[in-house]
Amino acid sequence: MLKLLKGLNKKVYLFIAISFILIFAQVWLELKMPDYMSEITVLVQTEGSKMADILKNGGFMMLCALGSLISAIIVGYFIANVAALFSLETRKKLFTKVENLAMHEVKQFSTSSLITRTTNDITQIEMFLAMGVQLLIKAPITAIWAITKILNKSWEWSMLTGIAVIILLTVIGIITAIVMPRFKIVQKLIDKVNGVTRENLTGIRVIRAFNAEKFQQDKFDDVNNKLTKQQLFNQKTFAIMMPIMYLVMYFLTLFIYLIGANLIDGALLADKISLFGDMVVFSSYAMQVIMSFLMLAMIFMMMPRASISAKRIREVLDEDITITDGQQEGLQIKQKGTVEFKNVSFMYPDAEEYLLEDISFKVEKGQTVAFIGSTGSGKSTLINLIPRFYDVTKGEIFVDGINIKDYKQTDLHNKIGYVPQKAVLFNGTVKENVGYGDNGKKISDKKIKEAIKIAQAEEFILKMDDKYDSHIAARGTNISGGQKQRLAIARAIAKDPEIYIFDDSFSALDYKTDATLRKELKKYTKEATTLIVAQRIGTIMHADQIIVLDNGKCVGIGTHKELLQNCEVYKQIALSQISEEELAK
Partner 1 sequence: MKEEKHVKRPPRGPMAPLQKAKNFKSSILRLLKELKPYKFLITLSMILAIAGAALSIMAPNRLADLTDEISKGLIVNTKNLEKLTKDITSSLSNNDRLNAILDIQLNEKTSFTIMASSSITPEDKEEFNKFLNEIQTSKQEDFVKNLTNLPTSVLEVLLQDSIYQDVAITAQDKIAFLKVSQNIEAHKEIDIPINIEKVLFSEITLDKVQITSQDQAKFLELMSKVGEDQTQLYKQLDKAPKHIKQVIEPKMNMKAIKTIGIILIAMYLSSALFTYIEQISMTDVSNKFAKSLRTRISNKINRLPLKYFDRHSTGDILSRVTNDVDMIAMNMNQSLATLVSALTLFLGTIIMMFYTNWIMAITAILSSFLGFLFMSQVLGRSQKYFSARQEELGNLNGHIEEIYSGLNVVKAYNGSKEADRKFDEYNKKVYEANRKSQFLSGLMMPMMGFIGNLGYVAVCIVGAVLTMKNQISFGVIVAFITYVRLFTSPLSQIAQAMTAMQSTAAASERVFAFIDEEEMNNEKNIIKSLSRSKVKGNIEFKNVVFKYDGNDKPTIKNFSAVAHAGEKIAIVGPTGAGKTTMVNLLMKFYEIDSGDILIDGISTKELTRENVHDLFTMVLQDTWVFDGTVKENIIYNRQSISDEEVKEVCKTVGLDHFIKTLPKGYNSKIVDNDTISAGQKQLLTIARGMLEDTPFLILDEATSNVDTRTEELVQKAMDKLTEGRTSFIIAHRLSTIKNADLILVMKDGNIIETGSHEELMAKNGFYADLYNSQFEI
Residues 67-106 within binding reach of partner 1 (CB under 8 A): 68-69, 72-73, 76-77, 79-81, 83-85, 87-88, 91-92, 95-96, 98-99, 103, 106
The candidate with the shortest Cα–Cα distance to 391, out of 324, 298, 439, 458, is: 324
Rule CB under 8 A: is residue 437 a binding residue for partner 1? yes
Total chain residues near partner 1 (CB under 8 A): 173
Q: Give one DSSP letter per residue of 214-274, joined into a string.
A: HHHHHHHHHHHHHHHHHHHHHHHHHHTHHHHHHHHHHHHHHHHHHHHHHHHHHS-HHHHHH
Q: How many CB atoms lie within 10 A of CB 408?
A: 15
Rule CB under 8 A: is residue 307 a binding residue for partner 1? no
Q: How many CB atoms lie within 10 A of CB 341?
A: 22
User: Least distance from C-beta 184 to partner 1, angstroms?
Assistant: 14
Rule CB under 8 A: is residue 258 a binding residue for partner 1? yes
340-369: contacts with partner 1 (CB under 8 A) = none
17-46: contacts with partner 1 (CB under 8 A) = 33, 37, 40-41, 43-46
Q: Out of 3, 17, 49, 300, which residue is the one contacting partner 1 (CB under 8 A)?
A: 49
Q: Which is nearer to partner 1, 221 or 469 (CB)?
A: 221
Q: Which is nearer to partner 1, 361 or 389 (CB)?
A: 389
488-517: contacts with partner 1 (CB under 8 A) = 488, 491, 495, 508, 510-512, 514-515
Q: Which is nearer to partner 1, 343 or 444 (CB)?
A: 444
Q: Indicate the residue type of 435.
A: G
522-561: contacts with partner 1 (CB under 8 A) = 522, 535-538, 541-542
Rule CB under 8 A: is residue 291 a binding residue for partner 1? no
Question: Which range, of 142-150, 156-164, 168-176, 185-193, touches partner 1 by CB under 8 A?
Answer: 185-193
Where do the H-state alpha helices sit in 46-154? 51-100, 103-109, 111-116, 122-151
For residue 238, count CB atoms less than 10 angstroms from its CB and return exposed for 0-12, middle for 13-18, buried for 19 or more.
Answer: middle
Q: Out of 144, 151, 166, 206, which residue is the one contacting partner 1 (CB under 8 A)?
A: 206
442 Rama class: left (phi>0) / alpha (psi -120 to 50) / beta: beta
Q: Which is nearer to partner 1, 338 or 513 (CB)?
A: 513
Question: Which range, of 334-342, 396-404, 418-426, 461-469, touches partner 1 by CB under 8 A?
Answer: 418-426
Q: Out of 13, 155, 210, 300, which residue is the one contacting partner 1 (CB under 8 A)?
A: 210
Q: Can you say whether the dihedral through the CA atoms of 23, 27, 33, 35 is positive or negative?
A: negative
The count of residues in the chain is: 585
Rule CB under 8 A: is residue 326 a binding residue for partner 1? no
In 3-state terms the chain splits into helix, strand, coil percentages (rounded to 5) of 65, 10, 25
C-alpha to C-alpha distance for 428 and 576, rounded to whole angstroms: 41
Q: Which is nearer to partner 1, 13 or 210 (CB)?
A: 210
C-alpha to C-alpha distance for 336 and 519, rounded to whole angstroms: 23
